[in-house]
Structure 1
Amino acid sequence: APATLPRPVDQFVGQHDAHIIPAGLPGAGNLLVFDNQGTAGYPSVPLGLISGSRVLEIDPVTQQIVWQYSAASSRQPGWAFYSSFISSARRLPNGNTLIDEGMNGRFFQVTASGENVWEYVSPFLGKAPGSDAISNWVYRALPVSYDWVPQGTPRSETAVIAPTAALQPTNASR
């Protein structure tokens, strides 16, 4: 179960895209940070077996975590949201948060209550830095206004209806 909020800031490591939420956005003045999580501290605290990454919103005055997102926020196992490097998180005008799970090239948007309302996995592959591996890594995702798209650019919107997850009985017990 997700931890009670607000609560004191706990240990985080591998933080990315730490920034103050700008004026005019929900949470303005708070620090938003992508917490990769991982082994850290002295003595070292290892990443748990089912742990994953988090996005933290911290009130810098009270030094309290006032909002967080982890896979548990969307009722998923911890490993369903994890990036050991790169990544970002940005607050949107509607109060949702745009998250870039960088090492997986995955962008998604969550509500304040943790509902995943939009997701995209980049199909664009390229050579990963420092190796011959091919990857869809994305360092950072930044929201832009819909009006930013140049006039005359073809664009359309189509609602995506998520499939219902139906659990089917199996014959495994036979």
Structure 2
Amino acid sequence: GSTGGQHGKGGDILWRWGNPAAYGQGNEDDQVLFGQHDAQFMPNAEGIRISVYNNGIGRPDGNYSTVDHIDVPLDANGGYPDLSDQGIQPQIAAWTYPTAPDFSFYSPNISGYTLLPDGNHLICEGAEGRFFELDSASNLVWEYVNPISNMGPLTQGNNPIQNSVFRVTSVPASHPGLAGRNLEPGDPLELNPIPSECTLDLEDGKAPQTPIVWPNPTCSMLNIGNLNSVIPTKIEILNSTGQTHWTTSATNEITVDVRFWSPGMYVAILQQVHSDARPATSIIIKFLVQ
């Protein structure tokens, strides 16, 4: 056999797992990894734990993804034991999410998975541009869908397309590379973001209202709502050349008939006047007429 190296193996393959037919220790029925990505090795009590995003493309029972833990035993010297007469061990993953096939959870390529220090799971469903965190009991903690496509930012509320993400990495706020950097949240990445219900900026004892327009895009009717019910909001809509196309003032939700408008991008400028000495606030919202 080969010599040299930390365990006297001289560059030999020490251990492999996922498709025994490829190395003469099984057949196609024994395959458990299908197009996997982002394998990460971590020490555990008995040896090494490998976490991996198992993309699932080409599974015999259909295409669906899982994230898996594989616990690899090590010998007393910290090396891989000789399992040539036992086949590759272990035969199954120690932990899998989801526990039953979920065909809505699927990314045929890219993607990633990290077991976090606190036992939570950070998962990137790459082709869908979706990443989320599970707690140790597999309960959803949060999720986020990437709003940036190949063509730029997407409009919130539209179905995201071409927004794939290769993988995500968790970086703690205490990381030395973040020292001295501003970690305050910035503006939303998506266009026309839905107003956050977590922001509170009181005026006259009432939470402010942020106008919204929907649906976007539209081909028939455009709704403009969440207006100040006391002080009129001036509404001016500009066409793609910057010319005023339509204007009004309103204190309640209105509906605009755009069936005969030329298709294209429009800009709604909604100007709100405050009850105190502050200058008027203008909110700009882009929308598409199809």
Relative to the length of structure 1, the TM-score reads 0.64
1:20 maps to which of 41, 63, 66: 41
Deviation at 1:81, TM superposition (A): 1.3
1:38 maps to which of 36, 46, 57: 57
Distance in 1 of aligned mates of 2:134 and 2:46: 15
Are residues 1:141 and 2:153 paired? no
Q: Which residue is equivalent to 1:125? A: 149
> CA offsets, 1:99-158, max 9 Å, x none?
01000111101123211111011101116xxxxxx61111111111112434251526x9
Q: Which amino acid in structure 1 is aligned with residue 55 of structure 2?
A: N
Instruction: Write out the 4+ residue segments of structure 1 that deviate beyond 2 Å after TM superposition.
Output: 25-29, 45-48, 147-152
Superposition map of 1:12-91 within 5 A: 12-21=33-42, 23=43, 29-39=48-58, 46-48=60-62, 52-61=64-73, 62-63=89-90, 64-70=92-98, 72=100, 78-91=102-115
Higher Cα Rg, which structure = 2
Contact 1:37/1:47, CA 8 A, preserved across alignment? no
Q: Which amino acid in structure 2 is aligned with residue 151 of structure 1?
A: G
Distance 1:150 1:38, change over 3 A: same
Distance in 1 of aligned mates of 2:145 and 2:46: 27
Gap runs ≥5 in structure 2:
1-29, 74-88, 152-160, 186-195, 199-290
Q: Which amino acid in structure 1 is aligned with residue 143 of structure 2?
A: E
Q: Which residue is equivalent to 1:151? A: 180
Distance in 2 of aligned mates of 1:31 and 1:151: 34
> CA offsets, 1:80-99, max 9 Å, x none?
31101000000111100100
RMSD: 3.1
> CA offsets, 1:41-71, max 9 Å, x none?
xxxx5342xx520000001225142111127
Q: Which amino acid in structure 1 is aligned with residue 96 of structure 2?
A: Q
Distance in 2 of aligned mates of 1:159 and 1:58: 41
Distance in 2 of aligned mates of 1:57 and 1:94: 16
| Higher RCO (Cα < 8 Å, 6 or more apart) | 1
Deviation at 1:10, TM superposition (A): 5.7
Relative to the length of structure 2, the TM-score reads 0.40
Distance in 2 of aligned mates of 1:118 and 1:139: 19
Are residues 1:113 and 2:137 paired? yes
Q: Which residue is equivalent to 2:123? A: 99
Contact 1:56/1:69, CA 8 A, preserved across alignment? yes
Contact 2:47/2:72, CA 8 A, preserved across alignment? no
Q: Which amino acid in structure 2 is aligned with residue 141 of structure 1?
A: V
